[in-house]
Amino acid sequence: MRTVIFDLDGTLADTSGDLIAAANHCFRGLGLGDLLDPAHDAATALRGGRAMLTLGFSRVGGFDAAHVDAQYPVLLAAYADAIDTHTVLYPGAMDAVARLRADGYAVGIATNKPEGLAETLMRSLGVRDEFASLIGADTLPVRKPDPEHHFEAVRRAGGDVRRSLLVGDTATDRDTSRNAGVPSVLVTFGPGREAVLALDAEATIDSYDELPGVVARLIG
């Protein structure tokens, strides 16, 4: 079966506000105040917890990778406690998923968010059952950009890897698709449009209205 695998953060949903709130919780606990800005630092937020902690600590002196490691579990706990306060699905995302499913495609998720958090978020948003698979950062011994992460998401969705593609928003997603030997479609409506366009994916979309047609062109 033809299969479309989606990234989650920055692709299906804008999770940046809740992620930044969790990181700032860590910084406040250390007496540093809010080191990240929800608007200006959204692109870093969508790269994950460690990226946010690293950026925040870079803005003050005396912190290193050991502090990132120590605060990462604190960040995950804070995020789990308020996972959907600010998060929203991107406009048209679920309409596109419904259209793909109606056209005979299997759909799944491959995210570098921990699986339990991804499951909780998708259920909170009321859309988990629309996806036949969900692979998180800790589901397998490997994660994106390792191609096995994509392969397993396809397999669990009941699909054919040879007729699959990955929809994402970062270099990690582009690299995953290349390592897997499948096309990538990158969304440009999140933060950092010019950086996404420079990644030279097989296709980009400015709106989810474009996705079904692009998918049909790339994998039939």
Tens-digit pLDDT profile for residues 23-62:
999 999 999 999 999 999 999 998 889 999 999 999 998 9
Strand 13-14 to strand 88-89: parallel, antiparallel, or no bridges (unpaired)? Answer: antiparallel
Are 212 and 50 contacting, i.e. CB atoms less than 8 angstroms apart?
Answer: no
Alpha-carbon 143 to chain mean position: 12
| pLDDT at residue 192 greater than cutoff 90 | no
Catalytic residue list contains 103: no
Domain limits of the chain? 3-13+88-219, 16-81
Q: Alpha-carbon distance 75 to 147, whole Å?
A: 27
Contacts of 77 (CB under 8 A, 6+ apart): none
Q: What share of the chain is helix, strand, coil (3-state, %, to 5)?
A: 50, 15, 40
Q: Which residues, 6+ apart, have CB-to-CB distance to 12 below 8 Å?
A: 6, 89, 90, 93, 109
Average pLDDT over residues 196-207: 96
The residue from 7, 9, 169, 173 that is catalytic is 7
pLDDT, tens only, 96-111 = 999 999 999 999 999 9
199: DSSP letter? T
pTM comes to: 0.93
Confidence class for position 63, pLDDT limits 50, 70, 90: very high
Q: Which CATH class is domain 3-13+88-219?
A: alpha beta
pLDDT above 90 (res 193): no
User: What pLDDT digit, counting tens, does each position of 108-159 carry?
Assistant: 999 999 999 999 999 999 999 999 999 999 999 999 999 999 999 999 999 9
Strand partners, 5: 108, 166
